[in-house]
Amino acid sequence: MKVVIIGVGLIGGSFAKDVKKLHPEAEIIGVDKSETHLDEALQLQIIDKKGGYQDLATADLVYVGIPVNVLVTELPKILDAAGDDTVVIDAGSTKRLICEQVAEHPNRRNFMACHPIAGTEFSGPTAALEGLYTGKTMIICEVEKTAFKLQEKALAIFQEIGMRIRYMNPEAHDKHIAYVSHLSHISSFMLGKTVIEKEKNERDIFDMAGSGFESTVRLAKSSPDMWTPIFEQNKDNVVETLEEYIQNLTTFKQLILDNDFENVHQEMSNTNKIKQILKGIPLTKK
């Protein structure tokens, strides 16, 4: 099996590690704009060699883990270079614009629009983790537009890795992911910003930060290069979720101002049901 990883960071590198564990004979070829990332991926044995788009024609599977703004412009070129039997899988956190971009591409049948609900706050090849995808959900959009034999090839790998499969349309994906992923990242970034601006003495933050603060602000360590384009592409849904979030914060603030701590307690009690919703979802730590 010949697998090309375009973008050998956390997402692409972790996928490469899982494929290599399952298929030691597989040839993993890395493509990345950063020569440093490619060198690191080689040193870490994430990839077997460096390559380019010329390798796509003979690849069985191409996994694309690059920022969504770059993905929109590069995906048509990737599909141009893909062979008849090559399945091209993306891992973008937005789906509508990406699917629209290749809707009329002659090789649309080779593309499977995906979003793995997996990751950490770290980036680059050194962040790649074997087992990152195990037990996680792979969302697939517009699966009917992918050639059936190529669907089977991709699904077989996902199932071998141990992923759950969920099918959605691109619009529903982008709306729902704004709530469960994009909003959490914004909240984390802004919490970090608020504390940094308030506590000018960084030593105080370090000394006083407990596990609650650390876990809540963890996502603020995520790459701005990756997340800025996500917020841009999913702007309408992100703004809608922010408006609802801000309204909830304003209401909670008013309850405190009004000394209405009975309803403060009730708000938190009502929200405690999130424990049952999230029960069983594994948290990846590094």
Domain 173-280: give its CATH code.
Answer: 1.10.3660.10
What is the fold, at CATH topology level, of the domain defined by 2-168? Rossmann fold (3.40.50)
The predicted model gives 130-159 an average pLDDT of 97
Residue span(s) of the chain under CATH 3.40.50.720 come to: 2-168
pLDDT above 90 (res 98)? yes
pLDDT cut 90: percent of the chain above it: 83
Asked whether the predicted pLDDT for residue 37 surpasses 50, the reply is yes
Provide the 3-class DSSP secondary structure of residue 167.
Answer: strand
Say how far apart CA 114 and CA 143 lie, in whole Å: 9
Q: Which amino acid is at 244?
A: E
Please check whether residue 71 is in contact with residue 91, taking contact to mean a CB–CB distance below 8 angstroms. no
pTM of the model: 0.87
Give the sheet arrangement for strand 111-116, strand by strand.
Answer: 49-50, 27-31, 2-6, 61-64, 87-90, 111-116, 137-141, 164-168
Rounded to the nearest angstrom, the gap between the alpha carbon of residue 78 and the centroid of all alpha carbons in its chain is 20
The answer to whether residue 203 scores a pLDDT higher than 90 is no
- For the chain, residues classed under CATH 1.10.3660.10 are 173-280
For residue 286, the model assigns a pLDDT of 38
| 21-31 tens-digit pLDDT | 999 999 999 99
Residue 100's pLDDT band, with cuts at 50, 70 and 90, is very high
Phi-psi region of 165 (alpha: psi -120 to 50; beta: other; left: phi over 0): beta
Question: Nearest-CA neighbor of 67 among 225, 243, 180?
Answer: 225
Compute the average pLDDT of residues 90-105. 97
